[in-house]
């Protein structure tokens, strides 16, 4: 199936069998490996990208459902929220192994884009679907608040 | 005066940028021309034989290159020394559910996985052993691992001392089968070039993977290179090769293409290890004033039927945490039809403390002695197991610091008396303990004509912050900023490093790096005074002093040279030096110690348990890298919340199949489960075991959490619970 979508601002044509997850297109066809595979069933959040500005799980999103859509990945996310998140993440030592962090950052940026001063509950809710087995959660909470003050 | 640490103190993680930009490369990100993909089909049964296997549909599926079964795969030489022997695809015997019965190679991962699902098999089914109860009858005494990890121990007359003590407790606990569950599944890629192979493996021990792969594949060690840039979480399930690692390399040779495979999430519950379930009985005798008279600690741990080597040494803490002259311990392994268990953060002590420290807590209420005071009365004056002195022992300071920082004095002594609105509140604590471990390691330090300084060792970064800590070690020794240090790791051709497990890396590889940098300085001084072009030519090497990367003559400061110039004049334009660390027997011992203080809130109507406050106090030597050490500590404590309240792999008692083999129903902590956590590192520098003065951190930090939470639940509710994980039903029941 032919699908035309924008990936990190670049118009991209994809020809993939119906139902092919966006994640496989990103990683295997386009060589964009920043978005990670963790579970394949929308249970870990490692594959989080922005689809038309909202966080979504690339592992369960068929690429053919994205005709005309705009997708942003960790490689392309930019703007004041992304800059603030990356700076806070680095200073507060959020990543440990780092494997879940592309997804964490995409969820955190999406949260800050709609809520400039999230409290603990808003953070817990927005980040609930992003597992981190290294358990960087406490620093994620602090770094999101820190990032909010930097924007 | 003790101070809480703050995460903003200390240098940033050196690979931080890569990890916030998607630029850090993990094994599954390996892209090779003409890459093929492997997926394994798994056994539907847990015990029996494959009678017939049908691969025709898979072979005809789109994109499929080859299918291998035990009938068609040329067998490998069993290399020995692995976490699990290579039984899969070697013979028709099935030892556990989801054991690989076929390997499918295809052009894409999706094609390989789809074709693997088309493989069917007929089996001769045996009744599997699926519970500890069923396995107990065939339990056996495991082989000794090392001087400390022995199946039994006995000092004094433990049974007699317990029986004659005025206060006694006889207490049995159970801990669950648990999974490491890294978000990055175990992953391998392999590519051959003639009779040489490169293996990319998500790996905590690339040197061992290189050695074992060479034996299994029948090629010399120098023909095997194992690489890994970053490991996406490990916690024990990536220590060296698993069968899938070796099979992937084997298959790459057979199909003549580079191949890649990642275990499915389901396969992570059978084919990459687990923490085995244990049942432990502990009997303790005390005097009326709370001094330990005797401890008998017996542990039964879940083993596999096909590989007798792993034992959870759960009775260990009873040997060396508290002062007691009469101690007997025993370990048995009960074989079940499950995959091979392996070490998981935090093995042995991490499991055994749940028995010892909940028993002590219970007895403290009976004696009317504060739980911390009870522990303060039982601090061992020496290592009684080996009968040698401690090199350092900050155990009392740990408890005092914890009490002060947590506000322990405000805690009511009686259980079930604290409330906040409708919630029951409880405050509890437990000790944290692991051995202070270190082992042989080598590192190389070098400087080139541009003045670039590199330290190199074949360790790997699993998230613990090793590149940062090694940069700090080298930078401090040289008096240079850490940005000047380049760290090379993740390549088995570098100087050999031990497993990144058992919390050995800082003491071992860190010390090797320190020794290498010192040797590099010696070498630079020696070469400079002998180099015709050097302003220091002809000087006495002893009169050369180091100021960062500048060498200055101590009597004539105008005579100076730089690392870069000395290297530029040297043959090959670079200077190298090696550091080799081998721990000495010093005649004393030390431990990585700590204590966890926890506040829980229990909703008495629905039984919901919430950890609302947590403090960890640790005496773990000199802290080299404050940020990454602190992250290890908080991560380990949250790991302990999972152990205490969530994590359990359920095997179907009839089929021995894992029934909750996914993140959907095998719970791990998430954002909302995590309270504010404070960390105190006590000043505990101990240069006896290694020149850095560091100690093991990564595991001790999680060890006391589960008993501390159970003790806090008792304080809140008056319910003494003896099973992990603790669930709402248990609190209500
Ligand atoms: S890989 Fe998409 S949510 Fe886990
Ligand atoms: S940083 Fe390792 S899983 Fe999140």
SS3 string, A116-142, reads CCCCHHHHHHHCCCCCCCCCCHHHHHH
DSSP state of B608: -
Residue B38 backbone dihedrals phi, psi, to 5 degrees: -115, 135
Residue B2 has pLDDT above 80, yes or no: no
Q: What's the pLDDT band for B209 if we cut at 50, 70, 90?
A: very high
Residues in A closer than 8 angstroms to B635, CB to CB, are 96, 134-136
Identify whether residues A89 and A41 lie together within a single domain.
Answer: no
- Residue B94 pLDDT level (bands cut at 50, 70, 90): very high
- pLDDT tens digit sequence for B72-87: 999 999 999 999 999 9
Confidence band for B1, pLDDT divided at 50, 70 and 90: very low
Q: Give the residue carrying structure tokens 């590199």.
A: B454
Give me B258's structure tokens: 């580079």
Q: Indicate if A59 and A87 belong to the same structural domain.
A: no
Read off the pLDDT of residues A30-80 as tens digits, 9 standing for 90 and up.
999 999 999 999 999 999 999 999 999 999 999 999 999 999 999 999 999
Ligand at minimal distance from the CA of A39 is 1
Judged against a pLDDT cut of 90, whether residue B504 lies above it is answered with: no
Q: Where among A39, A72, A105 does a domain terminate?
A: A72
Task: Please report which confidence band the pLDDT of residue B633 belongs to, taking 50, 70 and 90 as the band edges.
Answer: very high
Q: Which of A72, A88, A112 is the C-terminal boundary of a domain? A: A72
Residue at which a domain ends, from A42, A72, A102: A72
Tokens read off for B81: 């020394």
Answer for the pair B682, B618: CB distance below 8 angstroms, yes or no: yes
What is the number of the ligand 1 atom nearest to the C-alpha of A36?
Answer: 1
Instruction: Identify the pLDDT of residue B3.
Output: 66
Q: Is-contact B278 B331, C-beta < 8 A?
A: no
Alpha helices, DSSP H, located in B38-186:
56-60, 109-116, 132-135, 158-164
Q: How many other CB atoms are there within 10 angstroms of residue B449's CB atom?
A: 17
Q: What is the pLDDT of residues B233-288, one digit of tens each?
A: 999 999 999 999 999 999 999 999 999 999 999 999 999 999 999 999 999 999 99
Report the alpha-carbon distance of residue B39 to residue B260 in Å, rounded.
9
**Residue A59 shares a structural domain with residue A97:** no
Residue A131 Cβ < 6 Å to ligand 1 = no
For A134, the closest of B109, B233, B662 (CB atoms) is B233
A6 and A49 housed in the same domain: yes
Instruction: Please compute the mean of the pLDDT values over residues B508-525 and round it to a whole number.
Output: 96
Beta carbon of A46 within 6 Å of any ligand 1 atom: yes
Cβ contact B631–A100 (<8 Å) = no
Q: Give the pLDDT confidence score for residue B442 in this predicted structure.
A: 97
**B283-292, B311-320, B579-588: segment of lowest average pLDDT:** B579-588
Asked if A28 and B109 touch (Cβ cutoff 8 Å), the reply is: yes
Say which residues have a Cβ less than 8 Å from residue B539's Cβ, sequence separation at least 6: B528, B529, B553, B559
Element (H, E) at B296: strand B292-304
By the CB < 8 Å criterion, does A101 face chain B?
yes
Which ligand 1 atom sits closest to the C-alpha of A40?
A: 1
Question: CB under 8 Å to B6, separation ≥6 — which residues?
Answer: none
Q: Are residues A56 and A88 in the same domain?
A: no
Q: Which residues pair with B303 in a beta bridge?
A: B335
- pLDDT value at residue B9: 86
For A83-120, how does the pLDDT look when each residue is reduced to its tens digit (9 = 90+)?
A: 999 999 999 999 999 999 999 999 999 999 999 999 99
Task: Report the mean per-residue pLDDT for chain B.
Answer: 95
Q: Which of B270, B274, B275 is nearest to B87 (CA)?
A: B270
- Sign of the CA dihedral running B573, B470, A95, B175: positive
Q: Which residues of A touch B9 (CB under 8 A)?
A: none
- Output DSSP code: residue B275: B
How many CB atoms are closer than 10 A to CB B133? Answer: 11
Question: H or E element: which one contains B367?
Answer: helix B349-367
Residues A117 and A64 in one domain: no
By C-alpha distance, which of B527, B519, B541, B525 is closest to B569? B527
**Neighbouring residues of B311: CB distance < 8 A, sequence distance ≥ 6:** B142, B145, B149, B151, B301, B303, B331, B333
**Distance, CA A94 to ligand 2 centroid (Å)?**
9
Known catalytic residue: B349? no
Please indicate whether residue A87, judged by its CB atom, sits closer than 6 Å to ligand 1.
Answer: no
Same domain, A84 and A58: no
**Which one of B59, B174, B699, B729 is the catalytic residue?**
B699
At CB < 8 A and 24+ separation, what contacts does B365-371 make? B365/B415, B365/B714, B366/B167, B366/B169, B367/B167, B367/B286, B367/B288, B367/B290, B368/B413, B369/B289, B369/B290, B370/B413, B371/B428, B371/B429, B371/B711
Q: A86 with A146, same domain?
A: yes
Give the strand pairing for B36-42 and B259-262. parallel
- Taking CA atoms only, the protein residue closest to ligand 2 atom 4 is A132
pLDDT band at residue B369 under the 50/70/90 scheme: very high
Side by side, which strands form the sheet with B550-553? B544-547, B550-553, B560-562
DSSP state of B144: P
The pLDDT of residue A11 is above 80: yes
pLDDT, one tens digit per residue, over B104-116 is 999 999 999 999 9
The answer on A90 and A32 residing in a single domain is no
Query: Tens of pLDDT along B7-20?
Result: 888 999 999 999 99
Residues A106 and A58 placed together within one structural domain of the fold: no
Q: Kind of pairing, strands B609-619 and B591-602? A: antiparallel
The domain that contains A115 carries what CATH number?
A: 1.10.150.120
CATH of the domain at A59: 3.10.20.30
Helix ranges (H only) for B461-590 are: 466-478, 505, 511-528, 563-569
Residues 6+ apart with CB under 8 A from A10: none
pLDDT tens-place string over residues B522-565: 999 999 999 999 999 999 989 999 999 999 999 999 999 999 99
Radius of gyration, alpha carbons of chain B: 27
- C-alpha closest to that of B442 among B456, B428, B461, B460: B456
Quick check: B235 and A92 CB within 8 A? Answer: no
Helices (H), B218-343: 243-255, 317-320
Mutate to test the interface with A, among B7, B8, B20 (most CBs of A within 10 A): B20
Does the beta-carbon distance from B8 to A92 stay under 8 Å?
A: yes
Q: Tell me the per-residue pLDDT of B586-625, one tens digit each, with 9 for 90 and over.
A: 888 889 999 999 999 999 999 999 999 999 999 999 999 9
Q: Is the CB of A47 under 6 A from ligand 1?
A: yes
Q: Give the residue numbers spanning the domain of A99.
A: 80-150
CA distance A68 to chain B (A): 25
Give yes or no: residues A46 and A102 share one domain: no
Q: A57 — contact with chain B (CB < 8 Å)?
A: no
**Is residue B393 scored above 70 in pLDDT?**
yes
Contact B503, B592 (CB under 8 A): yes
**Complete DSSP assignment for B684-718:** ---TTT-TT-B---TTHHHHTHHHHHHHHHHHHHS
Q: Tell me, yes or no, whether A62 and A89 share the same domain.
A: no
Chain B contact set for A75 (CB, 8 A): 21-22
Residue nearest to atom 3 of ligand 2 (CA): A132
Q: CB under 8 Å, gap of 24 or more: what pairs does A78-81 form?
A: A79/A109, A80/A151, A81/A109, A81/A112, A81/A113, A81/A147, A81/A151
Contacts of B664 in chain A (CB under 8 A): 41, 43
Which two tokens mark B292?
Answer: 């330990």
Q: What residue in A sits closest to B35 (Cα-Cα)?
A: A28
Contacts of B733 (CB under 8 A, 6+ apart): none
* Residue in B445, B508, B498, B441 with CA at minimum distance from that of residue B691: B508
Total count of domains within chain A: 2
> Does the structure show a pLDDT above 50 at B714?
yes
């Amino acid at each position: 199936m032919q699908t035309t979508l924008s990936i990190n601002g670049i118009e991209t044509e994809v020809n993939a069998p119906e139902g092919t997850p966006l994640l496989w297109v990103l990683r295997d066809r386009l060589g964009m490996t920043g978005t990670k595979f963790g579970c394949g069933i929308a249970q870990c959040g490692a594959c989080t990208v922005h689809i038309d500005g909202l966080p979504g799980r690339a592992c369960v999103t068929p690429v053919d459902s994205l005709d005309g859509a705009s997708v942003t990945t960790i490689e392309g996310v930019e703007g004041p929220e992304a800059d603030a998140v990356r700076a806070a993440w680095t200073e507060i030592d959020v990543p440990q192994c780092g494997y879940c962090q592309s997804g964490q950052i995409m969820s955190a940026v999406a949260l800050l884009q709609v809520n400039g001063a999230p409290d603990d509950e808003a953070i817990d809710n927005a980040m609930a679907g992003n597992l981190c087995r290294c358990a960087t959660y406490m620093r994620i909470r602090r770094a999101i608040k820190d990032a909010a003050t930097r924007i | 005066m003790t101070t809480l640490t703050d995460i903003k103190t200390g240098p940033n993680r050196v690979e931080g940028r890569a990890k916030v930009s998607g630029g850090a490369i993990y094994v599954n990100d390996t892209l090779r021309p003409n890459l093929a993909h492997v997926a394994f089909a798994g056994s539907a049964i847990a015990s029996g034989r494959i009678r017939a296997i049908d691969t025709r549909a898979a072979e005809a599926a789109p994109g499929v290159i080859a299918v291998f079964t035990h009938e068609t795969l040329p067998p490998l030489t069993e290399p020995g020394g692995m976490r699990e022997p290579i039984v899969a695809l070697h013979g028709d015997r099935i030892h556990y559910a989801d054991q690989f019965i076929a390997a499918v190679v295809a052009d894409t991962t999706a094609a390989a996985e789809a074709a693997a699902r088309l493989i069917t098999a007929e089996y001769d089914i045996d009744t599997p052993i699926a519970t500890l109860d069923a396995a107990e009858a065939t339990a056996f005494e495991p082989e000794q691992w090392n001087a400390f990890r022995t199946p039994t121990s006995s000092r004094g007359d433990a049974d007699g001392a317990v029986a004659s003590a005025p206060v006694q407790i006889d207490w049995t606990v159970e801990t669950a089968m648990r999974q490491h569950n890294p978000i990055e599944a175990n992953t391998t890629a392999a590519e051959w070039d003639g009779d040489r192979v490169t293996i990319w493996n998500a790996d905590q021990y690339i040197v061992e993977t290189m050695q074992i792969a060479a034996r299994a594949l029948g090629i010399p060690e120098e023909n095997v290179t194992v690489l890994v840039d970053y490991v996406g979480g490990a916690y024990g399930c990536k220590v060296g090769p698993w069968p899938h690692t070796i099979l992937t390399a084997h298959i790459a040779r057979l199909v003549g293409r580079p191949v890649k495979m990642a275990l499915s999430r389901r396969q992570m519950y059978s084919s990459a290890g687990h923490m085995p379930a244990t049942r432990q009985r502990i009997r303790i005798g005390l005097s009326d004033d709370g001094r330990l008279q005797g401890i008998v600690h017996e542990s039964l741990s879940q083993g596999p039927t096909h590989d007798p080597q792993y034992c959870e040494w759960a009775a260990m803490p009873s040997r060396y945490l508290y002062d007691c002259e009469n101690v007997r311990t025993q370990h048995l392994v009960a074989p079940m039809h499950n995959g091979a268990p392996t070490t998981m953060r935090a093995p042995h002590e991490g499991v055994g403390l749940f028995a010892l420290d909940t028993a002590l807590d219970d007895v403290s209420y009976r004696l009317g002695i504060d739980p911390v005071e009870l522990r303060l009365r039982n601090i061992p004056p020496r290592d009684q197991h080996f009968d040698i002195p401690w090199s350092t022992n900050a155990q009392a300071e740990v408890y005092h610091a914890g009490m002060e920082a947590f506000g322990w004095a405000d805690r009511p002594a009686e259980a079930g008396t604290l409330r906040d609105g409708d919630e029951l509140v409880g405050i509890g604590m437990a000790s944290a303990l692991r051995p202070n471990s270190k082992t042989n390691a080598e590192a190389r330090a070098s400087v080139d004509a541009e003045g670039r300084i590199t330290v190199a060792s074949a360790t790997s970064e699993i998230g613990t912050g090793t590149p940062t800590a090694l940069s700090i070690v080298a930078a401090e020794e040289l008096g240079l900023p850490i940005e000047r240090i380049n760290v090379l790791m993740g390549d088995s051709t570098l100087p050999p490093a031990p497993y990144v497990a058992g919390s050995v890396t800082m003491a071992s590889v860190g010390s090797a790096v320190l020794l290498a940098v010192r040797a590099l300085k010696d070498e630079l001084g020696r070469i400079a005074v002998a180099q015709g072009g050097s302003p220091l030519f002809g000087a006495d090497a002893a009169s050369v002093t180091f100021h960062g990367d500048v060498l200055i003559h101590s009597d004539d400061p105008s005579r100076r040279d730089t690392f870069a110039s000395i290297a530029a004049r040297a043959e090959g334009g670079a200077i190298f030096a090696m550091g080799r660390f081998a721990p000495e027997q010093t005649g004393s011992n030390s431990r990585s110690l700590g204590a966890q203080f926890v506040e829980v809130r229990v909703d008495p109507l629905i039984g919901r348990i919430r950890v609302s406050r947590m403090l960890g106090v640790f005496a773990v030597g000199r802290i080299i890298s404050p940020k990454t050490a602190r992250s290890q500590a908080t991560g380990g404590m949250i790991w302990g919340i999972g152990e205490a309240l969530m994590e359990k792999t359920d095997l179907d008692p009839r089929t021995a199949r894992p029934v909750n083999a996914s993140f959907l129903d095998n719970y791990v902590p998430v954002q909302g489960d995590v309270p504010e956590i404070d960390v105190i590192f006590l000043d505990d520098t101990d240069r006896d075991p290694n020149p850095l003065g560091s100690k093991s951190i990564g595991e001790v930090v999680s060890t006391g959490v589960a008993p501390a939470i159970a003790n806090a639940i008792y304080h809140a509710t008056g319910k003494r619970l003896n099973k992990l994980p603790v669930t709402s039903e248990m609190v209500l029941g």
